Amino acid sequence: MLTGLNHLTLAVSDLTVSFSFYRDVLSFTPRARWDRGAYLSLGDLWLCLSLDKASPAQDYTHFAFTLAEADRVSFRNRLQCAGVIEWKENRSEGESIYFLDPDGHQLEAHCGDLASRLRACREKPYRGMEFF
């Protein structure tokens, strides 16, 4: 049986640039690196960077990381100082910063969790929404 998310692998076009971005800008911890890839971690998340042709999503597909509300302003400043591009305005519950990595992968830093999202949805449900 499945018990959770094991790891996330992202194709990257320049391993050195992506490794530096995830380590220096997003504060991932480096674990291993080789000619065509790297392992980094953030909390319980294991991230693999794989040197390959990157094809970022053209839709709403993205990966969201947890961000403490107290760190939101300083995190946004850190992204801006690094020249990181924001790709979307937040329109949902909880503060979010939507930004791109060096290969254009769509990322989000979100202040909140599933419980807070469901509370907000119970107050103002999306069209056709049902709860389980």
Give the active site residues: 108
Say if strands 8-12 and 45-51 run parallel, antiparallel, or are unpaired: parallel
In degrees rounded to 5, what are phi and psi of residue 109? -110, 115
In degrees rounded to 5, what are phi and psi of residue 10? -120, 130
